[in-house]
Copies of this chain bind each other. A is one copy, B any other.
Amino acid sequence: MTGMIALLTDFGLRDSYVGVMKGVMLNSYPEVSFIDISHSIEPFNIISASYLLYSAWDYFPKGTVFLSVVDPGVGTERNILLYLYNNNILITPDNGTISVLKRMHPASRTLIVSNQTIEKKRIGMSDTFHGRDIFAPLAADIAKNGLASIQAREEEGVVLKKVWPEIDKEKAKVSGSFIHIDHFGNCVSSIHASDLAGIQINAPASIHIGETRIHGVKRCFSDAAPGEFLVYEGSSGFLEVAVREGNAAENLHITDETRICIQYQC
Contact = CB atoms under 8 A, between A and B. Distances in A.
A23 interface: yes
A139 interface: no
Interface string A216-253: 00011111000000001011000010000100000000
Contact of A15 (B60, B182, B245): B182
A30 interface: yes
Interface string A100-140: 00000000000000000000000010111100110000000
A20 interface: yes
A126 B232 CA distance: 11
B56 A19 contact: yes
A135 to B, nearest CB: 13
B219 A75 contact: yes
A38 to B, nearest CB: 6
**Range, interface on chain A:** 35 or more
Contacts of A52: 15-16
Contact of A11 (B60, B183, B240, B245): B183
Given A128-B234, A132-B59, A232-B128, A40 B13 contact: yes
Contacts of A18: 36
Contacts of A75: 219-223
A1 interface: yes
A126 B61 contact: no
A37 B56 contact: no
Contacts of A64: 23
Given A13-B40, A43-B184, 20 more contacts: A4-B26, A11-B183, A12-B184, A13-B38, A20-B37, A20-B55, A23-B35, A23-B60, A26-B35, A26-B60, A27-B60, A27-B61, A43-B183, A59-B132, A72-B245, A75-B220, A75-B222, A128-B232, A128-B235, A129-B234
